[in-house]
């Protein structure tokens, strides 16, 4: 019963935006691309605020981060010299759990977060169990010897596509390196995101 209870909320945002933000190919939103509930099929006229809010919620769901976390990321990105929206995404893409996901060590951000928080991911040989830890260019990410035997990790490495150009992965060694910071066009998001709307929401 517990597993059943977790499935609903996990895909609630996917249904709301009509896209698989969870990253799973079998997401319920692919069959029912409308909000949950009795009036989900009804067409609603979205206000500008609601459009920006949904875009922000979509980003939160993709990276599975809380509102406070996202606000901190935005505050930090707004102080950078680059484009604020791109800087925001770059911070999220270089979180340790996201990098582990992009390298193919997990199939979903939740699996990646669990792998990190349980101490199965190492950065430059050092055990790091903080999913939000920022990975810097040149750092090597590897899976612990115990986790290399996990069926979920092995299956994920087999079925996930090749990593983005800014990542180098040696699947046989269960390790990879962040070569450089990602460019906007290289960020492999499961659904399209307009970061400009998110910046407008927080502005």
What CATH code would you report for 2-91+190-202? 1.10.1050.10
Residue 42 has pLDDT above 60, yes or no: no
Q: Where in the chain is the domain with CATH 1.10.1050.10?
A: 2-91+190-202
- In this predicted model, what pLDDT tens digit does every residue of 114-156 receive, in sequence order? 999 999 999 999 999 999 999 999 999 999 999 999 999 999 9
Looking at per-residue pLDDT, the higher value among 7 and 18 belongs to 18
Query: Which of the four pLDDT bands, split at 50, 70 and 90, describes residue 46?
Result: confident
Query: How far are the Cα atoms of 128, 130, 148, 175, 188 from residue 118, in angstroms, in the given order?
Result: 9, 9, 14, 17, 25
Ramachandran angles phi, psi of 35, nearest 5°: -60, 150
- In this predicted model, what pLDDT tens digit does every residue of 47-76 receive, in sequence order? 899 999 999 999 999 999 999 999 999 999
CATH fold label, 95-180:
3.10.290
Instruction: Count Cα atoms within 13 angstroms, Cβ side, for 177.
Output: 8
Q: Tokens in use for 36?
A: 């949950």
Residues 6+ apart with CB under 8 A from 185: none
């Amino acid at each position: 019963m517990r597993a059943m209870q977790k499935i609903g909320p996990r895909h609630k945002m996917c249904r709301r935006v009509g896209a698989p933000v969870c990253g799973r190919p079998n997401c319920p939103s692919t069959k029912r691309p409308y909000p949950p509930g009795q009036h989900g099929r009804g067409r609603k006229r979205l206000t500008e605020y609601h459009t920006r809010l949904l875009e922000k919620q979509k980003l939160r769901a993709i990276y599975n981060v809380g509102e406070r976390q996202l606000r901190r990321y935005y505050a930090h990105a707004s102080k950078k010299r680059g484009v604020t929206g791109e800087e925001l995404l770059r911070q999220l893409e270089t979180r340790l759990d996201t990098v582990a996901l992009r390298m193919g060590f997990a199939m979903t951000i939740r699996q990646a977060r669990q792998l990190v928080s349980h101490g199965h991911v190492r950065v430059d040989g050092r055990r790091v169990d903080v999913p939000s830890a920022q990975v810097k260019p040149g750092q090597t990410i590897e899976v612990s010897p115990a986790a290399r035997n996990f069926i979920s990790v092995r299956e994920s490495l087999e079925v996930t596509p090749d990593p983005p150009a800014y990542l180098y992965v040696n699947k046989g060694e269960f390790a990879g390196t962040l070569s450089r910071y990602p460019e906007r066009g290289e960020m492999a998001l499961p659904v399209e995101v307009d970061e400009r709307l998110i910046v407008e929401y927080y502005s």
